[in-house]
């Protein structure tokens, strides 16, 4: 047993973050050179410092997320998995720059195939990193179901949104309607929440936190604090969590 101790200690000390400062350096440079020619010249850097690091991160998160909920997908794929595309859709909007200047991860619920499904989100962007838990801009029917669940059980909803651990880490964020949704009393006790278009808790992080060896554990600790919200939303959609 005594001989094994040094190797165990070495193994623990060898643990490191899947990310490095090179990821943030690449994103900063991309922001200042957001054009296809520059990206093509730096494609090898993107692959090594961003994409491969991102795939490693998802792989490390797989067993941790499985303990949190077996219904969340963690897929370390180049395309179609948990890593969001760096290529922007320039068909809509005034911004025609071809690339996103952030790296996004969506560990979505298996019931949905896009960003509008309930899930956990990780966002890496120089000086603007954050994590989120919940559902972003759901379509009409699931949004109506969530609002109905809030009205049917205001007590449970208040316990979720005011949960001490959740409030200590997250803040409900996102756009809201300017008036009450159709058919809902504008004087309803929880009208502020019923006007929400998204139900997502957001928490900011510093860049350097993603470079620390225990980043995966830190993220899962935060996501565990958001589990009551995730469960409420999935219950509203009649889905397990």
Q: Does a structural domain hold residue 241?
A: no
Any idea what the CATH number is for the domain that residue 150 is in? 3.30.930.20
Q: Does a structural domain hold residue 63?
A: yes
pLDDT score at 117: 78
For residue 210, give the nearest of 200, 201, 222, 199 by alpha carbon. Answer: 222
Q: Does a structural domain hold residue 153?
A: yes
Contact of 39 with 50, CB cutoff 8 Å: no
Q: Is the pLDDT of residue 192 over 70?
A: yes
Q: Based on the number of CB atoms within 10 Å of its own CB, is 192 exposed (0-12), middle (13-18) or buried (19 or more)?
A: exposed
Q: Does a structural domain hold residue 96?
A: yes
Q: Does a structural domain hold residue 104?
A: yes
Domain count, the chain: 1
Tokens in use for 165?
């651990």
Q: Which residues pair with 107 in a beta bridge?
A: 120
- In the chain the first and final C-alpha atoms are separated, in Å, by 41
**Sequential DSSP letters for 104-122:** EEEEEBTT-SSTTSSEEEE
- What average pLDDT does the segment 204-219 reach? 98
pLDDT score at 94: 83
pLDDT tens digits along 127-178: 999 999 999 999 999 999 999 999 999 999 999 999 999 999 999 999 999 9
pLDDT score at 18: 97
Q: Does a structural domain hold residue 51?
A: yes
Query: Could you give the CA distance from residue 39 to residue 61 in angstroms, rounded to a whole number?
Result: 28
Average pLDDT, the chain: 92
Domain that holds residue 101: 18-236
Contact of 19 with 211, CB cutoff 8 Å: yes
Contact of 203 with 132, CB cutoff 8 Å: yes
Q: Does a structural domain hold residue 11?
A: no
Q: Does a structural domain hold residue 160?
A: yes
Distances, alpha carbon 152 to alpha carbons 24, 49, 179, in Å: 45, 48, 20
pLDDT tens digits along 10-35: 333 346 899 999 999 999 999 999 99
């Amino acid at each position: 047993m005594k001989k094994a101790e040094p190797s165990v200690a070495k193994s623990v000390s060898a643990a490191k973050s899947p990310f490095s400062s090179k990821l943030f350096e690449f994103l900063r440079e991309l922001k200042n050179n957001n054009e296809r020619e520059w990206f093509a010249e730096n494609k090898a850097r993107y692959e090594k410092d961003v994409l491969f690091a991102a795939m490693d991160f998802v792989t490390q998160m797989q067993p941790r997320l499985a303990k949190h909920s077996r219904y969340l997908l963690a897929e370390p794929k180049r395309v179609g998995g948990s890593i969001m595309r760096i290529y922007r859709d320039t068909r809509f909007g005034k911004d025609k720059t071809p690339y996103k200047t952030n790296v996004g991860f969506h560990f979505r619920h298996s019931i949905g195939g896009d960003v509008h499904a309930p899930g956990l989100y990780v966002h890496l962007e120089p000086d603007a990193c954050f994590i989120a838990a919940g559902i972003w801009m759901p379509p009409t029917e699931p949004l109506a179901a969530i609002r109905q669940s809030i009205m049917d059980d205001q007590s449970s909803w208040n316990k979720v949104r005011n949960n001490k651990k959740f409030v200590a880490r997250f803040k409900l964020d996102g756009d809201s309607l300017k008036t009450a949704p159709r058919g809902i009393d504008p004087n309803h006790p929880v009208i502020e929440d019923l006007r929400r278009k998204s139900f997502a808790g957001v928490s900011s992080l510093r860049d350097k936190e993603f470079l620390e060896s225990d980043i995966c554990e830190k993220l899962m600790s935060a996501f565990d604090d958001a589990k009551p919200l995730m469960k409420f939303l999935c219950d509203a959609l009649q889905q397990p969590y």
